[in-house]
A and B are shown apart, each in its own frame.
Chain A
Amino acid sequence: MTTSVPAPLAARTPPLAEPSAWHGISLIVNGRPVTAQVEARLLLSDFLRDRLGLTGTHVGCEHGVCGACTVLVNDEPVRACLTLAVQCDEVELRTVEGLAPADAPLTPVQRAFHECHGMQCGFCTPGFVMTTTALTEQDERPDEEQVADALSGHLCRCTGYRNIRRAVCQALDERFGE
């Protein structure tokens, strides 16, 4: 039996205008090693979208209010727009693209959002899905208050919260039992 080593994910590198102000980072993104040179001011959200082509992480408000850019850093949901790429050296990062590969079935969380129609325009969905994924990875089922606290970190401007809530409950039921 052979273990396959995940192929590195290539990062596009723009021309280095001032090489002294660039910093090398190495991290794991969706299970694949990434090394890149980044400018200090580059936000993690822009690094993911513009440099790695992972445009599933959406950018809404860009100051930490809307939650659309939420990704998992070392398994914890954080705002990619309030994180500098340069601070992500040696972290393990997951984005919505890392949940289910194109040829694989949806994860239970994704399936729950699909089945409960936990979205309208879909812009906020990747953020909600990543936070919900983290909730399902806890050791114990989060209580109502913890679920509300976690979801309050996301805005859905279509205001489809009722179905989002149903989707989260379904995902938690599936993971922890009803």
Chain B
Amino acid sequence: MKPTSFDYTAPSTVGEAVALLGDEEREAKVVAGGQSLIPMLNMRLARPELLVDITRIPELGRLHVDGSGKLRIGAAVRQARAAADGAVREGWPLLAVAIGRIGHPQIRHRGTVCGSLAHHDPAAELPTAAVCLDARFVITGPRGTRTVGAEDFFVATFSTAVEADELLTEAVFPPLPAHHGWAFEELTRRHGDFATVGVAVVLERDTATDTVRSARVVFCGAGPVPVRLPAVEDALVGTDVGEHALAAAARVALARLAPADDVHATAEYRREGAAHLLVRACTTAWERC
């Protein structure tokens, strides 16, 4: 199918973009790579009156590590560029790997990191990676600029803290300090699909005792938002990630996860898969600590 009729504008500043989004006369949508929006336009699931293309705003095309060592990815930075960036691969490998699991290269050449985050499909890789990495989101609107943490950013399926008249301008990822290991595992029917279920794990090794000092465990495809399970994290802290610890963590995950049934998989299948992926991810993350 073809999109319904809409107008298009490509402002050159964030201020202009926000003014256009705040226009109450016309329903406006932000477009950058369009890899989530354009399918919805083609199928007429989305019928905006105006598309505001933010890819011509120079400051949104920035990807850099700031003075405090945080990775800052502007809203127009495409996924392929972020995943290939040397600083990202070196300092935020979990992010680079998660991006590599999005669709196909043909999609990642157009799609943006912030676009996937703002679209928030709960089976998508990036929202879960963002929660696991404790990312922060810079949002600009008519009421000024604010910063929101990852756990408050994802509100519900296809819904985030970004209001209709606001623009996500930047995603900010804190550095992963020494003795932190990571892993990202997912279950997909076909290469490039959204995750049936997946998990991102970051473990911190206490080098004195050779046990887990802290853990972050976040699942995708397990609910309407990325699902962080502190109970699983608690089950891992203080352990050596041995067989017993992994079995205990998997049991907690099985008990706490409440994914939905849908055409892709049953809730039970997702839960079982998640527990297996958790064991694999924790093992890998621990080896990388």
Q: Are A41 and B41 in contact (CB under 8 A)?
A: yes
Chain A contacts of B103 at CB under 8 A?
64, 153
Q: How far is the CB of A135 from chain B (nearest CB, A)?
A: 9
Q: How far is the CA of A141 from the CA of B273 in the complex (A)?
A: 35
**Residues of chain A lying within 8 A (CB to CB) of residue B105:** 77, 131, 149-150, 153
In this assembly, does A152 line the interface, its C-beta being within 8 Å of a C-beta of chain B? yes
15 contacting pairs across A/B (C-beta < 8 A): A41-B3, A41-B6, A43-B3, A77-B105, A77-B109, A82-B34, A84-B31, A84-B34, A84-B51, A87-B53, A150-B105, A152-B104, A152-B190, A153-B106, A153-B192
B157 on interface, CB distance cutoff 8 Å = no
B110 close to A82 (CB less than 8 A): yes
CA distance A63 to B55 in the complex (A): 21
Are A23 and B8 in contact, CB atoms less than 8 angstroms apart?
yes
- Given A63-B39, A63-B42, A81-B42, A86-B8 contact (CB < 8 Å): yes
Residues of B within 8 A of A81 (CB): 38, 42
Docked Cα-Cα span, A86 to B7, in Å, equals 10
Q: Which residues of A contact B (CB under 8 A)?
A: 20-21, 23, 39-41, 43, 46, 62-64, 67, 70, 73, 76-79, 81-84, 86-87, 131, 148-150, 152-153
Is B1 a contact partner of A78 (Cβ separation < 8 A)?
no
Q: Is the interface of A mostly helix, strand, loop or mixed?
A: mixed
Min CB–CB distance B233 → chain A (angstroms): 31
Contacts of A43 in B (CB 8 A): 2-3, 38, 42
**Also in contact, A40 and B51, with CB within 8 A (given A131-B106, A149-B105):** yes
Is the CB–CB distance between B191 and A149 below 8 Å?
Answer: yes
Which partner residue on chain B sits nearest A62 by CB separation? Answer: B42
A77 touches B106 (CB 8 A): yes
- Contact status A63-B43, CB under 8 Å: yes
A84 and B8 contact, Cβ closer than 8 Å, known pairs A67-B104, A131-B106, A149-B104 = yes
- Cβ distance B147 to chain A, nearest Cβ, rounded Å: 29
Report B33-58 CB contacts with A as 1/0, cut-off 8 Å.
Answer: 01100110111000000010101000
Extra 6 A-B pairs, beta carbons < 8 Å, given A64-B38, A70-B106, A149-B100: A23-B8, A82-B34, A84-B51, A152-B104, A152-B191, A152-B192
Tell me, yes or no, whether B107 is within 8 Å of chain A by CB: yes
* Neighbour of A82 across the interface among B1, B35, B51, B100, CB < 8 A: B35
- A79, B111: Cα distance in complex, Å: 11
Main secondary structure of the interface of B (DSSP, over half): loop
User: Given known contacts A64-B39, A76-B80, A153-B192, is B106 in contact with A41 (CB within 8 Å)?
Assistant: no
Query: How long is the Cα–Cα vector from A82 to B35 in the complex, in angstroms?
Result: 6
User: Residues of B at under 8 Å CB distance from A?
Assistant: 1-8, 31, 34-35, 38-39, 41-43, 51, 53, 55, 80, 100, 103-107, 109-110, 190-192
Which residues of A sit under 8 angstroms from B100, Cβ to Cβ?
149
Most buried by A among B5, B55, B100: B5
Please determine whether B2 and A46 come into contact, CB atoms closer than 8 angstroms. yes
Closest residue of chain B to A21 (Cβ to Cβ) is B7
Given contacts A40-B6, A62-B1, contact A79 B42 (CB under 8 A): no
Nearest CB of chain B from residue A8's CB, rounded to whole Å: 24
Q: Which 9 pairs between the two chains have the least Cβ-Cβ distance?
A: A153-B104, A40-B8, A152-B191, A63-B39, A41-B3, A76-B109, A153-B106, A82-B38, A77-B106
Chain A residue with Cβ nearest B55: A87
Contacts of A153 in B (CB 8 A): 103-107, 192
Nearest chain A CB to B29 CB, angstrom units: 12
For A21, the chain B residues whose CB sits under 8 A away are: 5, 7
Supposing A148-B191, A152-B191, A153-B103 touch, asked if A41 and B4 sit within 8 A by C-beta, the answer is: yes
In the assembled complex, how far is the CB of residue A128 from the closest CB belonging to chain B, in whole angstroms?
11
User: Contact at B110–A78, with CB atoms within 8 Å?
Assistant: yes
- Report the separation of the CA atoms of residues A137 and B76 in the bound assembly, to the nearest whole angstrom: 25
A127 smallest CB distance to B (angstroms): 9
Q: How far is the CB of B201 from chain A (nearest CB, A)?
A: 22
Please give me the residue from chain B that is nearest to A135 by CB atom.
Answer: B105
**Do A39 and B106 have beta carbons less than 8 Å apart?**
no
